């Protein structure tokens, strides 16, 4: 449960902004989206390999 204490003379907008930051850090939305559809472990691994090779390619190009 996320608790955000509103300080004296603090606007609701600032408190809401702090709440949104805390909520994003928990990763609840990302987890819900990931759980909407089942992905096989082999597909997850394949996506990780593709992503890693892409990042490596970008780093190599940046080092040139």
Mean pLDDT computed over every residue of the chain = 94
Q: How many structural domains comprise the chain?
A: 1
Residue 7 lies in a domain: no
Q: Tell me what pLDDT residue 21 has.
A: 95
Q: Is residue 6 part of a domain?
A: no
The answer on pLDDT for 37 being more than 90 is: yes
The confidence band for 18, taking pLDDT boundaries of 50, 70 and 90, is very high
What domain range includes position 25? 12-63
**pLDDT exceeding 70 applies to what percent of the chain?**
100
pTM metric for this prediction: 0.55
Q: How confident is the model at residue 53 (pLDDT cuts 50, 70, 90)?
A: very high
Buried b (16+ CB within 10 A) or exposed e, 15-43: eeebeeeeeeeeeeeeeeeeeeeeeeeee
């Amino acid at each position: 449960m996320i608790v955000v204490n509103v300080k004296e003379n603090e606007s609701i907008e600032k408190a809401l902004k702090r709440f949104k930051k805390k909520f994003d850090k928990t990763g609840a939305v990302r987890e819900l989206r990931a759980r909407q559809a089942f992905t096989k472990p082999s597909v997850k691994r394949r996506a990780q390999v593709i992503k890693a090779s892409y990042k490596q390619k970008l780093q190599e190009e940046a080092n040139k």
